[in-house]
Amino acid sequence: MKPMLNRRVIVAFLILAIAVSGPGAIPAADPPSPEQSGEITPTRVSYLYGEVSFWRPGAQEWAEAKANTPLAPGDVLYTGADGNAELQIGPCAFVRAGNGTQIGLDNDEADFVQFRVTAGQAAIDVREIPAGHTVEIDTPNAAFTIDRKGFYHIDLSEGTTSFRAHRGGSATATPAAGAAATVGPNQQIVIAGTETPNVETSTAPPLSAWDRWNNQRTNYLIQPTNAQNVSPAMYGTEELAQHGTWRTEDNYGPVWQPASVPPGWVPYSTGRWIWDPRFGWTWLDAAPWGWAPYHYGRWVFVRGYWGWAPGPVVVRPVYAPALVVFLGGPVAVAVRPVHWAPLGWGEPVIPWWGRPGFVGVAWWGGWGGPHVVNNVVVNRTTTVNVTNINVYNNVHVHNAVVGVSEDRFGRGTMQTTRVDDARVRELTPVRGALAVKPVAASAMSAERATLTPPAAVRDRTVVATRTPRDFSPALRAQGLGAEREAPQAVSPRIVPAPKRTVTATQSESQGPAQRPRAGDAPKPGSAPNAPNAAPPAPRSGQRGAPAQPETGQTRRPPADDTEGAHRKAGPPPPPPRSSAEAHNQRPHGGPPPQQQQQQQRRPEAKPGQPPQQRSGERPSEAKEKQPEK
């Protein structure tokens, strides 16, 4: 009897240890995937200028690219003659595509991100990179692997690829045949051919006007303006200072209020639902600031306005495709409606994405504040039965619940309808997967694009060290992929990966402590770092502070002393044209042509209207800062 009793005691302690180390949800039956555990923050389309097209597997056609789209492996962007695209791959790491460039995402893992560039030019600006992380750029002539900070530039022309490293950067070039070569600081390598490549190395040419714009753009993005309110590892917070104000509210701490929203506006009402092969239904908002407030934190309705409450600052923010509660109810019409509302302070998301054992389980991933269930704060180790969760604060805010008919959900920009209070009382939470299947339009970020890459650009084979991640089986399981106007799935030429050099690098603006990449999962049992946390939350069993149902949702409260604090310098001007020489002949290291004087810009949205989703930036009159070469 004693051995049996001892085994039971051991099992009990193991179960208790799992409960204590988790985020307060029921332990999953299966080990969570990287998407579930928070190890992955998707690559973000953070800036667009000019004409840029987007294609995702499962779509029938190319779409106009939209800022704040989370990318998945298989996605492709193509820039027009005046187009530029910026992709954020880390808190201080960006990949930018110049004019006439096709760039695709092949892998996006916690410590490895892989792109393919088949035409044009790209810049990789890495201001910090954790030890053991790698960025790979695959081209028709060679694969380039980067594992240390620096500035890197790639140019493609007919049969030739040039790659150069600046600002202390160093990378490894692995051609289709032959030995790998190191590209050291201020060096350039030019590779021509594939079967018997001709490799030449030389001193890197001076930085071009476009390179200097890249440096200026990154300097603007990494200014620490919101560090007192949000984690420095959170993407998209640079837009908050431009488009709203911070206030301090009782019970919630720092709360960000968006500016220029129309009367009666509510969160998750101006945008669209798109299908992500990793995260399922994902919210893509129309606002230029629509990344951080829709993938982190919670929304609260306080003193007559909607505000985004990020909660206590955590070291490692965890991405979610959206933070809403889906609602269903009795079907009174032929087409069933789909409703949703933003999650309130401390409320869990019930995942509709992921594996069995994770879907439908209360989850507080990345949330550093109190855990609130049915408006009552619960202990973090409490096992929560989702069938007992039936109170969501924001559902009872007047006009906060919006929806569309099922045949319009996930099929383009929606005209949402408000749900009156009487109807809201008939709705019940959806606890798990949403009973709506994606269609081809669900994989499109916008309407059909007129710009598509030439077939010769789409179908170029690249050299790579890893096979691209393939979501075709998952897409077919959803009924996607049967009809599509796609870049052909050209398999890369796989070459051996270079030996990884593990070098602990340090941020240029940081002390010895290395900041992890956004999306890295919190270690079990680790406490969130909250130097500027919200006021103390009610103790377990006390009632949380509810958002009072009111009708005057556009009333602005008096500004407090945080409103004008920590304003940073304006964004840089639009990018100059890329060098045409680099696209039409072998790179020779000469200076680029003069930047064209006339640059067209998309007009900014008028107050009260959803902004046109490009950059929303105003040119700066400040002189361009010369970067370190």
CA–CA distances in Å: residue 54 to residues 83, 205, 287, 612: 12, 32, 18, 16
Q: Is residue 140 part of a domain?
A: yes
Say what the pTM is. Answer: 0.80
Tokens found for residue 613: 């989703």
Q: Is residue 111 part of a domain?
A: yes
Positions of the chain with pLDDT under 50: 1-32, 482-485, 502-567, 580-629
Q: Is residue 60 part of a domain?
A: yes
**Length reported for the chain:** 629
Q: Is residue 309 part of a domain?
A: no
Nearest 5 degrees, angle CA 452-CA 455-CA 456? Answer: 125
Query: d(Cα 53, Cα 63) in Å, to the nearest integer?
Result: 6
Q: Is residue 64 part of a domain?
A: yes
Tokens found for residue 324: 């809403």
Q: Based on the structure, what is the number of domains in the chain? A: 1
Q: Is residue 191 part of a domain?
A: yes
Hey, which residues does 160 pair with through a beta bridge? 157, 192
Tokens found for residue 551: 């009708």
Tokens found for residue 542: 């006390």
Q: Is residue 240 part of a domain?
A: no
Per-residue confidence (pLDDT) for residue 481, from 0 to 100:
77
Burial code (b: 16+ CB inside 10 Å, e: under 16) for 559-595 equals eeebeeeeeeeebbbbbbbbbebbbeebbeeeebeee
Query: d(Cα 571, Cα 621) in Å, to the nearest integer?
Result: 10
Structural domain of 97: 42-221+455-505+575-584
For residue 71, what is the domain's CATH number? 2.60.120.1440
Q: Is residue 563 part of a domain?
A: no
By DSSP bridging, strand 428-429 and strand 324-328 are antiparallel
